[in-house]
A and B are shown apart, each in its own frame.
Chain A
């Protein structure tokens, strides 16, 4: 009988380093970061520009590989997988939400949402049903055939969230999801993400906004490629980004 009530880890980074070659000098973007994010947890990653937040998100999203160290996703080592395997992991395990939405302008909302399923070879009938379900879950059932230029910024981000979750991933990674939205639309998007997290989705949000951080279970603070702080979200201080010592 398992007496440990806490959920199993979904994401485990162990001493992850990421070094880029820029000319003759190596640029160290992550200096050996170790973190653990449990299944269903809501984690915000904060830090000043150049602190390594995006590098970490790219590694967590299997878009990039660590130079050294280990990355386990749901118990499986994924840091050393080849390109094809990483594509499959991204397709089935991970959803992405970007600051600038990254919707394909010539496709309708429904077609944008269906994109990952087309790549996964899912039959059209099932695709149609899942697109309808996803767009309904983000409150856009009436905007199915609209193209991105016919949608507001908030609606575009909700379409992007529907696309990110249509394959029913285990982890949703969001890079400044409210960065391009006004406060009302931003609030709507944050509430949507919080609801999905409450339904069991593991959520990692990169943000500069302390208000976003305070909604999370934990905030990871990065500075100069180091993890300098891990604080419960509700206890996040407004000046966290300006502190210089852990």
Chain B
């Protein structure tokens, strides 16, 4: 159990890091995400605590105007609502954003155009559909130019995206994009959900992050937003994983101690049942050390077998998880496998000492008669 938890946990940690890296690398490493809320003291992910001030379209314009080195500044207001084409309905994520969303998310169109460029305060009644939404709501016709309803709002479809899959936790294919002002009106939002910023090439990430924070702090009279970079996400997840690792390490240590006691008991029974065999070994010339080594080796082997079984079970759980969620590339790192085998070896050796010593202390004459 200890070995299995170590394998599963390290696989989860490893998978998370790779997942986050993959997600960010698919969008480029020069990406910043600004979210409302500041919560650095507890180490939880930003946006998950505290009472954030509004992040507004005015902030977006200020960032565009005042800071150099920002190639794209893309606001997003998000919510969930029912989208309907006649009787066909689907509950999907709605993202209110601007035309730059297409570029920053590297999206391609299969039909029509993306959201129109222009004043972000102007909320046109248009929508762009993700590939899955389009096929679900318009199974046998081209949606471009057709009208659909989002909640109580009527929108004209201007385009359909090419299939893309998940990106930073969003299923692009099962999403509808509307102009940002429209999105804020649909969901009656005063604050944006986030602002994605793509920096120009060769711009320093840390200094840009500092300038973004400083500008918004100046506008809000306090530092009340967080800027997420790939490193922040990995760091925050690592903190959670560290806490989880410590908990599982505790469970693992207890399990290993229990397993060690199990090995010791099993070996004590084995020594007791094989008393005559010990006597025979001594009679045919085995030294005390040889008998001791034999039983120690058996204890270690037993322990290693347990560890290998634990690895197999852990590996099975991880593979099962990956089969269910293929986008999450979990796999235990090699160091974890080597470590658990090493620890199992030590546990076997430690808990095998007493039974082995008991075997060596047997009087050969008495042992031969099974006493």
Contacts and interface: CB of A to CB of B under 8 A. Distances in A.
B284 A119 contact: yes
Contacts of B285: 87-88, 90-92, 116, 119-120, 167
A91 B284 contact: yes
Contacts of A83: 287-288
A98 B280 CA distance: 10
Contacts of B247: none
A58 B279 CA distance: 12
B365 A119 contact: no
A83 to B, nearest CB: 6
Nearest to B285: A91
Nearest to A85: B287
A115 interface: yes
Interface residues of B, number: 16
Interface in B249-288: 276-277, 279-288
B302 to A, nearest CB: 16
The main secondary structure of chain B at its interface with chain A is helix
B368 interface: yes
A83 B364 CA distance: 11
B282 A163 contact: no
Interface string B286-311: 11101000000000000000000000
Contacts of A96: 283-284
A83 B290 CA distance: 12
A63 B282 CA distance: 8
A98 B144 CA distance: 96
Interface string A161-174: 00100010000000
Contact of A90 (B277, B284, B288, B290): B284
A84 interface: yes
A112 to B, nearest CB: 9
A90 B288 CA distance: 13
Contacts of A61: 283
A104 B281 CA distance: 10
Nearest to A84: B287
A87 B277 contact: no
A204 to B, nearest CB: 15
Nearest to A91: B285
Given A63-B282, A87-B282, A119-B281, A102 B287 contact: no
Interface of A: 58, 61, 63-64, 83-84, 87-88, 90-92, 96, 98, 102, 104, 115-116, 119-120, 163, 167
Given A102-B276, A119-B290, 8 more contacts: A61-B283, A63-B282, A83-B287, A83-B288, A84-B288, A87-B282, A90-B285, A104-B277
